[in-house]
Amino acid sequence: MAPGVATEKRIPAGHKVALRGHAPGEAVRRYGQIIGFATAPIAPGEWVHTHNLAMGDFARDYAWGVDAKPTEPVPVPASFLGIRRADGGVATRNYIGIVTSVNCSAHVAELIAQAFRRNPITGEDPLAAWPGVDGVVALTHKTGCGMTQGEPLTLLRRTLGGFARHADFSHVIAIGLGCEVNQIGGLLEEQRLTGRLRDMAIQEMGGTRKTVAAGLDFVREVLAEANAVQRVPVPASELKVALQCGGSDGYSGITANPALGAASDLVVRHGGTVILSETPETYGAEHLLTRRAVSREVGQKLVDLMHWWEAYCEREGAEMDANPSPGNKLGGLTTILEKSLGAMAKAGTTNLVDVVKYAEAVTQKGFVFMDTPGYDPVGATGQVAGGANLLCFTTGRGSVFGCKPTPSIKLATNTPMYQRMQDDMDVNCGTILTGEESVQQAGERIFQLMLRVASGERTKSEGFDFGGAEFAPWVLGATM
């Protein structure tokens, strides 16, 4: 507590206390930036939350590129043990994947994948003879038909195409029903999918039993080839790290997110890529990213996204401040402006080099922004479709999440939650609050874990086999 400021009542952990008085309508700041406006008089030492703080309009100074500066590379780049694919891609895992064109083929895909899953009761493992194969995963979803063509179909196909060509898959089956809007043939042609992929249409194959049998045969045919891969030293510049946060609290912006930001800076300094997303959770803080943009064109792309989201919310009768979620607010976050300022800390301090569409392939090295919703499974699905081969997920409330085929590292913002959920959390960043380590030290610890996980070390979410059910493409447009 600041000198001379006293509270009159108990304030929940992670929540805000006013350091000075505020009149109604006056801007309230955290992290040196506006997080909202007082809706009632606020006295020094008073609890600041939804009862006296709300959103409001204010001008942003985009200051295009004024803070952009050359990134200082590390003298000796790090490396990890990755899997080099024939097309030059680098994998951190080695799965066989099953993508579905439509929900109507979801169960058939699941039947194939189930045949190769380890039984948690008996311990029987159908893949025991192929230890180099991490598993067979079915990526199912709820759309693919009864949908409008144009942007909704293009977006779904871009997402499926990104997964089908992902380096963490050695081979892929694409399964459709046969009469859906998202035709397998159109998906393959539009996304130029060839090589490692086998396509099947249930109607043409003769039904469920025959399609499942053909799928099982295909997996058995390629297991030996998939298992033959070897991990070799590859530079850390091959890392593409997706940055996510969910179930956030008031500590997210001062512990786990800046610690992940420090690790992100290390990834970029080693020549790699970090991908920030969740556009609605950057709203109100975008002017801090445009200052780091390598060009006005790149910065403008981010601002244009914000305008699209404003129009989208207006059209759908929603509000940008519908996020933070109820859990976020219980954890001390009041407005989306406050959440955005904390969330963007995950991306560190390096230049913004590109802004890409949802599920678009990320090709630039450095810090890249991808347009996604703020809903974590949908955002992460887009990032992995864009090529992320590692995912770091910060949480203050205790999210459980995986995103196959990419391994997911969980970072806790506070020690009590970490201790309560140790089976799910990989890193405790509450050590920053207690003074046991600095943000930079925590960032170095996270970076070293990234290298180990990229080399094959299992995360907590992988121990629970998370990551198949969490596949969630962004659904746009009407369901007909």
The string of pLDDT tens digits covering residues 208-264 is 999 999 999 999 999 999 999 999 999 999 999 999 998 888 888 899 999 999 999
What are the tens digits of pLDDT across the range 132-153?
999 999 999 999 999 988 999 9
- At 94, is the pLDDT very low, low, confident or very high (cuts 50, 70, 90)? very high
Amino acid occupying residue 73: P
pLDDT at 322: 58
Angle between helices 106-114 and 208-227 (to 10 degrees): 50
- Percentage above 70 pLDDT, the chain: 98
Evaluate if residue 380 carries a pLDDT over 70. yes
Enumerate the domain spans of the chain. Answer: 16-54, 95-228, 234-463
Q: What is the pTM of this model?
A: 0.91
- At 2, is the pLDDT very low, low, confident or very high (cuts 50, 70, 90)? low
Evaluate if residue 286 carries a pLDDT over 70. yes
Evaluate if residue 283 carries a pLDDT over 90. no
- Percentage above 90 pLDDT, the chain: 72
Overall average pLDDT of the 371-388 stretch: 97
pLDDT at 55: 75
Rounded to 5°, angle at Cα 395 from 394 and 399 = 115
Domains 16-54 and 95-228 share a fold: no
CATH of domain 16-54: 2.30.130.110
The CATH architecture one would assign to domain 95-228 is: 3-Layer(aba) Sandwich (3.40)
